[in-house]
Amino acid sequence: MMTTLEKVKRLEQYIIFNNSTVDPVLDMSINKLLVREYARMNELKTRLLNQVMKFEQAYSLASSEFYTRYEKGEMGDEMDFVEWAATVEMLANVDQNLTLLHEE
């Protein structure tokens, strides 16, 4: 079974080979997939932002300040802090994905 990446590479080769004669339905399908993934990432970002806000309120500390101190080892290794750090990192990854998906 082919991975998603292998399928995308295969599709890329097909498009390159056919140059500008790609079926408009294929183009429309790809656009819909990109829009769907962008919406999914936005939904995930909203959930992660809500989690981050709960941590910030509970500890009266901005996530940027928390993460800087956490990375320096100043916050300890309480489960909340591990989860908060992971959430901050996930949020950064989601933002990168949104940037990639939104490029025109």
Tokens for 56, please give them: 């910030």
Domain residue ranges of the chain, discontinuous segments joined by +? 25-102
Quick count: other Cβ atoms within 10 Å of Cβ 104?
Answer: 2
3-state class (DSSP) for residue 22? coil
- For tokens 């949104």, name the residue: 98
Tokens for 95, please give them: 């933002």
Q: What is the mean pLDDT of residues 80-104?
A: 94
Higher pLDDT, 17 or 36: 36
One-letter identity of residue 30? I
pLDDT at 20: 66
pLDDT at 104: 62
| pLDDT per position as a tens digit, 29-73 | 989 999 999 999 999 999 999 999 999 999 999 999 999 999 999
Using CA atoms, how far apart are residues 38 and 44, in angstroms rounded to an integer?
10
